[in-house]
Chain A
Amino acid sequence: MFSGHQTSAESWGTGRAVARIPRVRGGGTHRSGQGAFGNMCRGGRMFAPTKTWRRWHRKIGVNQKRYAMVSAIAATSSPALVMSKGHMIQEVPEVPLVVSDKVQELSKTKEAVLMLKKHRAWTDVLKVYKSKRFRPGKGKMRNRRRIQRRGPLIIYNKDQGLTRAFRNIPGVDTICVEKLNLLKLAPGGHVGRFCIWTESAFRKLDSLYGTWRKESRRKKNYNLPMPKMTNTDLARILKSEEIQAVLRNPK
């Protein structure tokens, strides 16, 4: 029973000098005689009312999901891609940024902020602060009032207070290596989020996803996807002697 149909309205037909839209029966109230049922009527139901049983989920093969995951992780290691995403990593000492395991034991937000400042990741957080604004459009009245940028992502192995230390810093997300989330690694569908790894988390990646030489220990029968080209610099390849020697002269 959707909204807009809670009336027993019937069209008056022709001959009454009114439009043929179904009208509300009865009398004694404003509502009587008003149009009903149409998407053009006031108080009528919308066109094609959206249903909850829309097919929301998509089946995607496990391998494809893992491929996406692995690509996203790889992208976080490319400073070019991280910068193009907009993160302020101009002064970060190294990319990917791997930090000692002591970070996992942080409990105070002050210490967390200090750690970010020491590793020159604080400028990214400042960018988040500056980007806090109201959403344009109706989302404001649909509980999506405020928006802000995404900041750095902290990837840890064992949470010994880390999540609570970084919880209140705007833009900063924390995630466990075992449960990496594509939505956090590539927010908005664009790869290259600025990630800060703890040492043990970084080491775990090998066992999680394998190397080309070894299979993954955690995922059954999984190995990293093989690249299409081992050397991707096509321009350089074409100019190389080996290839030029074989090419015939241009006419």
Chain B
Amino acid sequence: MQSDDITWSIINKSFCSFKIQTKSQKFCRNEFNLTGLCSRSSCPLANTQYATVREEKGVIYLYMRTAERAFFPAKQWEKVKLSRNFVKALQQIDENLIFWKKYFRQKCRQRLLKITQYLTRMRKIKLGRQKKLVPIQRKVDLRIKRREEKALVAARIDNAIEKQLLQRLKDGTYERIYNFPQEAFNVRIDEEEEESEIEDEEEYEEEKEEEVETDEDVEGELEKEALEDERRDEMDSDDDDDDDDDDDGGDDEDEDSEEEHQFVADFDESDDDLEDAAERMAMSSDGDEYEEEVKGRSIVRRHPVSLRNIKSRGKARLEVEYEMPEDSSKEKVTT
């Protein structure tokens, strides 16, 4: 109308901010463009009389612009809501664009069709189950897997189960369930505290299958078990003082048998020492002796017998429950 041709000659030849050029085609980024291509007849800037069909949030509108309103950008587009009925919408378009160029009528109708099609498709997809594609982050996955394995090892489930079972036994929940020969049972209880608990469990289970006896025997066993525990506790308390001497290398051997019984009682007291023990074990894997720096002087210490014994059995790493005879307070006193 007014200077459309001039505008087009400038936009086409020189610069248009909406134009995107690819090797085969020119696209128009203008949101009101009817076809999406950059061409003389579909450029919304180069045609003052223009019409489009656009949808906003699922509602389809017909936009029209005339030459009169071309200089008021805020008010230039006239918006007509099209009906949801496709046929009626087509009629509406024809009514509104009645004296317009055939090009606009045709393109608007085509665009309306496309929009309705994709809207129905969107609705269908939403009704059905939508599979959401989630990318696998390989590094994260591997990391989690590794941590799971470590956590499994750290949890030491077997030991926990073991303890639970023994606890239940002591409490008497299995009163009438398992029947054992009495002596074998007692020996078992003794052995369990010497050796690794994993081995115990295996033997334990084997013995279960052996013999069938009366309930009274079982009860008797349990009572004796309880008595023995008390006896052991008394013994443990006596041995505490002996074990706390740092420099007594020779005495350790005498206290061999006594020390070995101490584990259960002292285990509860000092968690810190256990951790230290683990560290020290890790540090000096060679020999029974290790050096320790106490107030500047390095003192050679021998591992407590408990630890030495375990090493000889080749189960160093896992056993953290054995007590460490050293206390930090005691060290200060001696030096």
Residues of A participating in the B interface, judged by any CB pair closer than 8 Å = 75, 78-81, 83-86, 89-95, 120, 190-191, 232-236
Contacts and interface: CB of A to CB of B under 8 A. Distances in A.
A80 B46 contact: yes
A81 B4 CA distance: 10
Contact of A234 (B5, B16, B75): B5
Contacts of B6: 232
A80 B17 contact: no
Contacts of A81: 7, 10-11, 45
Contacts of A236: 1
Contacts of B85: none
The majority secondary structure among interface residues of chain A is: loop
Interface stretch (B66-74, B109-117, B160-168): B66-74
Interface in B64-107: 70-75
Given A89-B73, A95-B71, A95-B73, A78 B14 contact: no
Contact of B73 (A75, A84, A92): A92
The majority secondary structure among interface residues of chain B is: loop
Contacts of A92: 73-74
B71 A84 contact: no
Contacts of B70: 79-80
A233 B1 contact: yes
Interface of B: 1-7, 10-11, 14-18, 45-46, 48, 70-75
Contact of B72 (A80, A93, A190): A93
B15 A84 contact: yes
30 contacts: A75-B10, A79-B71, A81-B7, A81-B10, A81-B11, A83-B17, A83-B45, A84-B7, A84-B10, A84-B11, A84-B17, A84-B45, A85-B15, A90-B73, A90-B74, A91-B74, A92-B73, A93-B72, A93-B73, A93-B74, A93-B75, A94-B71, A95-B71, A120-B74, A190-B14, A232-B2, A232-B3, A232-B5, A233-B1, A235-B5
Given A75-B10, A233-B2, 14 more contacts: A79-B71, A80-B11, A83-B18, A84-B11, A84-B16, A84-B17, A84-B45, A90-B74, A91-B73, A92-B73, A95-B73, A232-B2, A232-B3, A235-B5
